[in-house]
Amino acid sequence: MTSQGPDTELPLLIRAARGLEVERTPVWFMRQAGRSLPEYRALREGIPMLQACRTPDLVTEITVQPVRRHGVDAAIFFSDIVVPLAAAGVDLDIVPGVGPVVASPIRDRAAVEALPSLTADQVPDIAQAVRQTVAELDGVPLIGFAGAPFTLASYLVEGGPSRNHEHTKALMHGDPQTWDLLCSKLAAIATTYLRVQIEAGARAVQLFDSWVGALSREDYVRYVQPHSAAVLAGVADLGVPRIHFGVGTGELLTVMGEAGADVVGVDFRVPLDEANARLSGRYPLQGNLDPALLFAPWEPLERSIDAILDAGRAAPGHIFNLGHGVLPDTDPDVITRVVQRVHSRSAR
Ligand code: CP3
C-alpha cells in the first residue's frame, strides 16, 4: 500500500464510494456471477433460479466464484430483484432466457391492496447466505442489492419483462393514488431486503432501477423519486454507501442522485466526465463500459477502458463497472483481462 492513514484499512470500493483516496480504481461488474462462467453453469445445472437463490451454500459459492476467477474488488450478492417479492408470497417465477414472470399481474386497487409485505423473518436463508459469504470473502466487500420500486412495479404490473411499460404508465397516470400505494409497499419490501443484507454483513448496497430510463424527468420526479428516496433513506442509519443505478438515465442522473444516492451508477451512453458535469461534481460515479464491447478486439476495448478511467478522474471518486450487466455469452477471460487493465492503468 502506498498511502498511509486510518482510511487505508477500508476496502478500495468503500473508499472510492466515499470519495476518499485510493491507490487504484476498484472494479466489479454487474452480473459478474452468472452464465458467463462455466463453473456457474455447472453448479446451476437442473436447479431453478429462485430455488438457487434460497439455497445459502449455492448462493455463497456462486457469489464468490467471480472474485476468485477475476480478482474483482467486490462481490455482488447472488440473488434477484424478485426474490423478496417471492419470499413475501407473490406468485412468480424466473423463466430462463425471459426473466421474471408474474402469475397474476397487479393492475388495480384491490390487487395492490392484496400485495403482501415482507418481514426479515421470512428470509432467514438470505441473512445466513450473506453471513457465510462475507466469511468466505475474507475482506473483499460484499455488495447487497434490491430492485427499486419502479422496476419492481413494472414486472408486477406488466406481468413480465416489457419494452414499453404501457400498463405501468397507464396505472401511474390513470390512478396515481393506487400507483403510490403500490410503490410505497414495494419500497418497504426493498428496504427490508436491503436491511437484512446490511445487518448480515454487506458493506455497500446497490439500488437497481434498471428500467427507469423509460420515464421522462417530470414523471420520474412525481411518480418515482419519492419512493426510491424512501428506500435509500430507509437504510441511511446503517451507514453503508448506497449506489443507485439505472439504464438510459442520462436525463435522470441529477434526480436519481437527489433521491439519496452516495454513488451514482452511469450507463454506457453518457461519458463519466459529462455525467460528473451534469451532477455538478457532487457524487462518486460508477461505470461505464458498454458490455457489448467485451466482444470487440482487445485494442479498441483497451482504449475504451483507458478513456473511462481518464473520464472517471473528473469525479470525486470512481468505481469501474460496466454500463449494464455482463452478457451471458461473454468470454470470461476477457473480463479477467479488463480487471487487470483497470488495476495496472489506474495504479497511483
Ligand atoms: O452478479 C450479479 O449481478 C448478481 C446477481 C443478479 C441477478 N439478477 C442474477 C440473475 C442481480 C444483481 C440481478 C438483478 C436483476 N434481476 C435486475 C437488475 C439488474 C439489471 O440487469 O438491470 C433485473 C432487471 C432483474 C430481472 C431479471 N432476472 C432478468 C432481466 C433476468 C434475465 C433473464 C434471462 O435469463 O436472460 C433475470 C434472471 C437472472 N437473474 C439470472 C441471473 C444469473 C439468469 C437466471 C438463469 O441463469 O437461469
Annotated binding site: 31-35, 80, 155, 210, 324
* Ligand 1, atom nearest to 66 Cα: 1
Q: For residue 35, is it within any domain?
A: yes
What is the reported pLDDT for 178? 98
Flag whether pLDDT at 6 surpasses 90: no
Q: What are the Cα distances from residue 190, in Å, to 40, 84, 234, 282, 295?
A: 26, 7, 9, 25, 34
Contact (CB, 8 A) for 317 and 275:
no
The pLDDT > 70 percentage for the chain reads 98
Q: For residue 292, is it within any domain?
A: yes
Protein residue with least CA distance to atom 24, ligand 1 = 210
pLDDT confidence bin for 8, thresholds 50/70/90: low
Protein residue with least CA distance to atom 2, ligand 1 = 31
Catalytic annotation, residues: 31, 35, 44, 80, 155
pLDDT confidence bin for 4, thresholds 50/70/90: very low
Residue 192 alpha carbon to ligand 1 centre in Å: 20
What is the reported pLDDT for 218? 98
Q: For residue 322, is it within any domain?
A: yes
Which residue in 118, 134, 103, 123 sits closest to 55, CA to CA? 123
Flag whether pLDDT at 296 surpasses 60: yes
Q: How many domains does the chain have?
A: 1
Whole-complex ipTM: 0.93
Q: How far apart are CA 222 and CA 228, in angstroms?
A: 11
Annotated binding site for substrate: 31-35, 80, 155, 210, 324
Average pLDDT score over residue span 3-7: 50
Residue 300 alpha carbon to ligand 1 centre in Å: 28
Flag whether pLDDT at 305 surpasses 70: yes
Q: Mind listing the pLDDT tens digit for each residue in 315-332?
A: 999 999 999 999 999 999
Q: How far apart are CA 346 and CA 313, in angstroms?
A: 10
Ligand 1 pocket mutation, candidates 43, 70, 80, criterion most atoms within 8 A of CB: 80
**CATH number for the domain harbouring residue 300:** 3.20.20.210
Residue 186, C-alpha cell as written in the block:
414495494
Flag whether pLDDT at 1 surpasses 70: no
- For residue 94, what are the β-bridge partners? 100
Protein residue with least CA distance to atom 34, ligand 1 = 97
Flag whether pLDDT at 3 surpasses 60: no
Protein residue with least CA distance to atom 27, ligand 1 = 99
Q: For residue 20, is it within any domain?
A: no
Q: Rg of the Cα trace of the chain?
A: 19
Residue 104 alpha carbon to ligand 1 centre in Å: 21
* Ligand 1, atom nearest to 161 Cα: 30
Residue 98 alpha carbon to ligand 1 centre in Å: 10
* Ligand 1, atom nearest to 77 Cα: 4
Pocket of ligand 1 (CB under 6 A): 30-35, 49, 76, 78, 80-81, 94, 96-100, 145, 151, 208, 210, 325
* Ligand 1, atom nearest to 49 Cα: 48
Which residue in 98, 67, 104, 105 sits closest to 80, CA to CA? 98
What domain range is 308 assigned to? Answer: 27-346
Average pLDDT score over residue span 33-47: 96
Average pLDDT score over residue span 268-281: 98
What is the reported pLDDT for 140? 98
Q: For residue 10, is it within any domain?
A: no
Q: What are the Cα distances from residue 290, in Å, to 39, 136, 143, 293, 300?
A: 24, 30, 21, 5, 12
pLDDT confidence bin for 9, thresholds 50/70/90: confident
Q: For residue 3, is it within any domain?
A: no
Q: Mind listing the pLDDT tens digit for each residue in 82-100?
A: 999 999 999 999 999 999 9
| DSSP-derived secondary structure for 119-134 | -GGG-HHHHHHHHHHH
- For residue 102, what are the β-bridge partners? 92
Residue 36, C-alpha cell as written in the block:
458467463
Flag whether pLDDT at 265 surpasses 70: yes
Residue 35 alpha carbon to ligand 1 centre in Å: 10
Buried b (16+ CB within 10 A) or exposed e, 60-70: bbbbbbbbebb
Average of per-residue pLDDT values in the chain: 97
Q: For residue 86, is it within any domain?
A: yes
Q: Mind listing the pLDDT tens digit for each residue in 223-264?
A: 999 999 999 999 999 999 999 999 999 999 999 999 999 999
Protein residue with least CA distance to atom 10, ligand 1 = 80
Q: Mind listing the pLDDT tens digit for each residue in 186-200?
A: 999 999 999 999 999
Q: For residue 140, is it within any domain?
A: yes
Name the packing angle between helices 225-234 and 176-199 (round to 10°).
Answer: 20
Q: How far apart are CA 223 and CA 266, in angstroms?
A: 21
